[in-house]
Amino acid sequence: IFQELANHLGANWTYQHPSEIMDEAASLAGYFAGVSYERLEGFNSQIWPVAKDGTDTPILFEEGFAVEDGKARLIPLEWTPPFEAGAEYDLHLNNGRLLEHFHEGNM
């Protein structure tokens, strides 16, 4: 359904299997570099990030951030109100999460 929607919106997604999506995510996002569809099958537990060699770590950024001094870069932004589409485009997309599922049930 999402692939059809994306293609109607101008994307050219040609995925034939969910593994192709995971392969693409792994190639683009370092956190997923060592994750494959096969590793995810059966809902085996993952601790992010997963390095290309398949190792993971329970404590993220334990050795610092990936910048020269290892310190996080926190930049304040000026608040802007959310966009209001108005009555003409009154479309709402809900991904259907329940409270128990939102943020892995930790809310």
- Does the pTM exceed 0.75? no
DSSP codes, 22-67? HHHHHHH-GGGTT--HHHHGGG----S-B-TTS-B-SSTTTT--SS
Domain ranges of the chain: 1-57
Contact 26, 19 (CB under 8 A): no
Shortest CA distance to 49 belongs to which of 36, 61, 66, 64? 61
- pLDDT tens digits, 2-50: 999 999 999 999 999 999 999 999 999 988 898 888 888 876 677 778 8
CA atoms of 24 and 39, how far apart (whole Å): 15
Beta bridge partners of 56: 50
φ, ψ (nearest 5 deg) of residue 21? -70, -45
**pLDDT digits over 55-96, tens only?**
887 788 888 988 999 999 999 999 999 888 778 887 777 777
Question: Taking the CB of residue 13, how many other CB atoms lie within 10 A of it?
Answer: 13
SS3 of 104, please?
helix
